[in-house]
Amino acid sequence: MTLRKPTILSNELAGALEAQIRTGDYPAGTKLPSEAQLCARYGISRNVVREALARLKSSGLVESRQGAGVFVLSASAHQSFRIVTSEGDRLALRKLFELRLEVEVAAASMAARRRQSEQLIRLEQLLLVLTDSPQPLQIEQQMQECVAEASGNEYLSGFLAYLNGADRLADGFLTVWWSQHRADLIRHWQQIIAAIRLGDPDLARREYWRYLLDSAEGCGIRGLQGWERTRMSNLAEPFAPLCAAPDAMPRRPRLPIPLGACDCHMHVFWPELQRPFTPHRSYTPPPSSLQDYMRVMDKLGLSRAVVVQPSVYGTDNHVTLETLRQGGDRFRGVVVIDPDTPMNELLRMHALGVRGVRINLLFKSGVAVSDVRTLAAKVAPLGWHLQILLDVSEFSDIEASLGRLPVPVVIDHMGHLPPEFGPQHPGFVSMLRLLERGQLWVKLSGAERISADRWPYIDVRPLAETLLATNPERLLWASDWPHTCLPGAMPNDGDLLDLLGLWTDNPALQHRVLVDNPALLYGFEPIEQGQPVGPDEKVSTL
């Protein structure tokens, strides 16, 4: 038998031996060939053989007997716990990464407290090999297992060896991903090793967390355990990467755009020197002015828009309110407030066009779940709504939490559900029940955020079509311009508007989503035929 080179050799050897054990070629009680015999038979190193045998031991298939060798255990002794996956099963891959995130982040933290000098030396040697190894994935797995060994917990070490044996599903994805991003892989491991060498368990946890999130992204897995990539940072060490700018050349959509069409979610950002961002934020946006956006409106044929307060400004609504002041009647706003914001301030906002309060439960924004009912009661007399950004796959009891509020509720970005869960996910189904009863609104937006694919984001289509089939009278379209902190490629806004035409070819439904529903929710006045819909040249550059 000849082992194939592109795969992880220890994984393949473990799989070959396991198959021989389960088919009876190596019955219970049989002694396996020695390390030297296996090396000679397969043309591999002792290190590969030892890693393969460690996987078989962690699976409960064999045991080592001091001075005698490795023996096959009886079937009754085999562990009942198994990880069974099939190629292309993205949901199984997500669950494996979730498990790895909990196990390996904990191992990195322990390693920072317990590592021995020889383990640090081993990690640094592997890092040197990783720089130009033709098989970075094999070296990477050795580094993962070295970190687990440095934890001083043999159960962690054994379980990680088992996971690496089971997690062949990711090998193909990561081989391609890391071949294109080797510099990123090396940087991650440099930071992990530096944290372990420093003996800082919190820093080690954060660095390993970010490394695994990038690994998951390389396999097309987004929103792993929530969409907050900076959850492991703290106030003293903010992690706010600079975002790419939006596509400066939006094309005209192929979809006929009716008069009065509204973009129900966009943002404006001033240069940071002009209006500072909160230090405790998830990203740093590029300047994106009202004038920039109105050129996008003109190109897309949009008549109206809703400017939404972004998390980077916290409760400082100055930029959003100034945008409303300059944008005039064609704009409405959604702000972020404190529970103790005075009513006279809310009335001033209302006069400028504010019609809702945003609660961001996904990224750093200073608003907590406990604020939902308090804020709902505060803005109910104004007829405002609550706009909530959350991942419905991780928000428990949506119906009880959001279905009994005294104000309308708007859910951003189709509930931010990772598409591999599908519309049958319990959290999405709960959202659908509220939508069907007319107890909330949902934005048909964010496909470019949650999809693992490029436009037209085929994996998101079942979610959008299910929403349209459930209650099109409570759906809104939005661009989310200027698309800050995207995990994938920057979209063209004309493409995003054309998604609605791909999700429904019914012109009446398209008109309802683009015109009628926003007019009802945000209180826009009817647009008369002949009223200008292009940018107002009097708007100043912000």
Residues 33/68, Cβ–Cβ less than 8 Å: no
Measured between alpha carbons, how far is 283 from 53 in angstroms, rounded to an integer?
44
What the block records as the tokens of 364 is 């750093």
What does DSSP say about strands 262-266 and 385-389: parallel, antiparallel, or unpaired?
Answer: unpaired
Does the annotation count 498 as an active-site position?
A: no
Phi, psi of 74 (to 5 degrees): -70, 160
What would the DSSP string read from start to end of 300-320?
A: HT--EEEEE--GGGTT--HHH
Residues 405/438, Cβ–Cβ less than 8 Å: no
Measured between alpha carbons, how far is 10 from 74 in angstroms, rounded to an integer?
23
Residues 410/442, Cβ–Cβ less than 8 Å: yes
DSSP state of 237: B
- Write out the H or E segment, with its range, that includes residue 444: strand 441-444
Q: How far is CA 423 from CA 79, 251, 382, 440, in A?
A: 34, 31, 34, 17
Nearest C-alpha neighbor of 467 from the set 411, 394, 397: 411
Upper half-sphere CA count for residue 435 (Cβ side, 13 Å): 27
Nearest C-alpha neighbor of 385 from the set 441, 325, 324: 441
Please state, as a whole number, how many other Cβ atoms lie within 10 Å of the Cβ of residue 237: 11
Residues 270/319, Cβ–Cβ less than 8 Å: yes
DSSP state of 416: G
Please state, as a whole number, how many other Cβ atoms lie within 10 Å of the Cβ of residue 387: 26
Region of residue 489 (left: phi > 0; alpha: psi -120 to 50; beta: else):
beta
> What's the helix, strand, coil split of the chain in %, to 5?
50, 10, 40
Please tell me whether residue 270 adopts helix, strand or coil conformation.
coil
Q: What is the crossing angle of helices 90-114 and 136-150, to 10°? A: 50
Find the catalytic residue in 371, 412, 480, 493: 480
Looking at the annotation, which residues are catalytic? 480
